Amino acid sequence: MSEKDQEVKDQELEEEVAELKDLEEQESVTDELTELTTKIDELDDQLLRARAEIANITNRNRNERELLQRYRSQDLAKKLLPAIDNLERAMATEVTDDQGMNLKKGVEMTLASLQQALKEEGIEEIPAAGETFDPNFHQGVQTVEASDDVPANTIVQVLQKGYKLHDRVLRPSMVVVAQ
């Protein structure tokens, strides 16, 4: 090989090496870019999920608060029902003298103010007498025979009044049903 040929060969080799190095460098940069882009995609995705979670939590909490608010009186109201029963029973007491009349007047006022308080909180009596029996609201404790006047499934008597808070039953009506 002449000296000149050797030189040319050396140069070719050098160029090849340089090219390879260039390629390597390019590849490593490309790898880095891909890595960063993937990382960005991941973060974008996580951020999207986090924001969706915020929206979900906020909605769920608003719903929970509304439910808590709507049925807030449930526990106390349930506990008041025996007091109302007592007062209604007391009202059935016959009195003849002035003292008894005064007392009865007091009971009447109390009953009215209790019923008013319950009504304002969304509590109302469940309609029963004369209605069609509905197991969601009424509890049948006795039956009588149905007749032409009283068709089957009609409530003929209420033994204990039932109450509901909005759509929730606090206590079903205890009833006698025609069958």
Other beta carbons less than 10 A from residue 163's beta carbon: 21
In the bound state with a copy of itself, the residue whose beta carbon lies nearer, of 61 and 142, is 61
Considering CB under 8 A, how many residues would be counted as binding a copy of itself? Answer: 56
Residues 140-149: contacts with CB within 8 Å, 24+ apart? Answer: 140/175, 140/176, 140/177, 141/174, 141/175, 141/176, 142/176, 142/177, 143/176, 143/177, 143/178, 143/179, 144/176, 144/177, 144/178, 144/179, 145/178, 145/179, 146/178, 146/179, 147/178
Site string for a copy of itself, 63-92 (x = CB under 8 A): -xx--xx--xx-xxx-xx-xx--xx-xx--
Task: Pick out residues in 99-158 that bind a copy of itself (CB under 8 A).
Answer: 99-100, 102-104, 106-107, 109-110, 113-114, 116-118, 120-121
- Give whichever of 48 and 129 is closer to a copy of itself, judged by the CB atom: 48
Q: Which of 17, 23, 31, 51 binds a copy of itself (CB under 8 A)?
A: 51
Residues that bind a copy of itself (CB under 8 A): 29, 32-33, 36-37, 39-40, 43-44, 46-47, 50-51, 53-54, 57-58, 61, 64-65, 68-69, 72-73, 75-77, 79-80, 82-83, 86-87, 89-90, 93-97, 99-100, 102-104, 106-107, 109-110, 113-114, 116-118, 120-121
